[in-house]
């Protein structure tokens, strides 16, 4: 992880800490473990995937604790929740106040492919402002079939992953 990525991660953890403090709660050891791991990568994940990752650090962490913490991190505007394959909730890190993050969910392999388009937030935000709205969150979820898989019978994007 680069210094810039580490600094961004620390800022998001501080944001989560401030959220819990504003609710009269604290950053417990378990919450800190979950935050650290939830904010590590650039890939999206579901709660069960996050649970398997956090249990490498602490085997006692429960799925319900992961779900509660994920919900808090979404409320704190640290993570974004979106519908992944089979309408299962997935999570991704919010990198800016108006994060223009999109996802393609492959119907063939159920993998999620992020599409980072900084222009999405600008375009959609401008349209919302024209209608008298202030944009808080922009997301786009596309379901698609892999052209390469259907044309050649194989896809070089398909990989075994824990998503």
Q: Is 146 annotated as a binding residue?
A: yes
Please name every residue paired with 138 in a beta bridge, in sequence order, or none if there are none: 100
State the Cα torsion 65-68-73-79 to the nearest 10°: 90
User: Could you give the number of structural domains in the chain?
Assistant: 1
Strands (DSSP E) contained in the chain are 79-83, 89-93, 100-106, 112-116, 138-144
For residue 119, pLDDT over 80 is answered with no
Let me know if residue 157 belongs to a domain. Answer: no
- Phi, psi values for residue 10, rounded to 5°: -65, -35
Q: Is 109 annotated as a binding residue?
A: yes
CA distance 22 to 76: 10
Let me know if residue 162 belongs to a domain. Answer: no
Let me know if residue 161 belongs to a domain. Answer: no
- Residue range 125-150, pLDDT digits in tens: 788 889 998 877 666 777 788 888 88
Q: Is 35 annotated as a binding residue?
A: no
Let me know if residue 158 belongs to a domain. Answer: no
CA distance 128 to 124: 6
**Sign of the CA dihedral with 152 first, then 105, 52, and 29 last:** positive
Let me know if residue 82 belongs to a domain. Answer: yes
How many whole angstroms from its chain centre is CA 1? 17
Q: What is the pTM of this model?
A: 0.71
Q: What is the CATH number of the domain that holds 124?
A: 1.10.10.10
Q: The domain containing residue 124 runs over which residues? A: 3-152
Let me know if residue 24 belongs to a domain. Answer: yes
Let me know if residue 116 belongs to a domain. Answer: yes
CA distance 138 to 122: 10
Q: Strand, helix or coil at 21?
A: helix
Tokens read off for 52: 């398997």
CA distance 102 to 80: 11
- Residue range 1-44, pLDDT digits in tens: 678 778 888 999 999 999 999 999 999 999 999 999 999 877 88
Let me know if residue 72 belongs to a domain. Answer: yes
DSSP class of residue 87 equals G
Q: What is the pLDDT of residue 96?
A: 58
Q: What is the pLDDT of residue 79?
A: 92
């Amino acid at each position: 992880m680069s210094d810039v990525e580490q600094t961004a991660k620390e800022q998001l953890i501080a944001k989560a800490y401030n959220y819990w403090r504003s609710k009269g709660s604290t950053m417990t050891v378990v919450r800190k473990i979950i935050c650290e791991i939830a904010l590590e990568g650039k890939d999206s994940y579901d709660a069960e995937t996050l649970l398997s990752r956090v249990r490498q650090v602490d085997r006692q962490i429960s799925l319900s604790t992961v779900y509660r913490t994920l919900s808090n991190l979404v409320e704190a505007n640290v993570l974004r929740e979106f519908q992944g394959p089979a309408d299962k909730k997935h999570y991704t890190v919010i990198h800016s106040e108006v994060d223009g993050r999109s996802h393609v969910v492959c119907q063939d392999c159920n993998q999620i492919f992020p599409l980072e388009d900084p222009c999405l937030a600008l375009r959609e935000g401008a349209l919302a402002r024209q209608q008298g709205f202030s944009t808080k969150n922009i997301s786009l979820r596309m379901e698609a079939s892999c052209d390469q898989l259907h044309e050649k019978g194989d896809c070089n994007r398909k990989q075994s992953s824990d998503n």
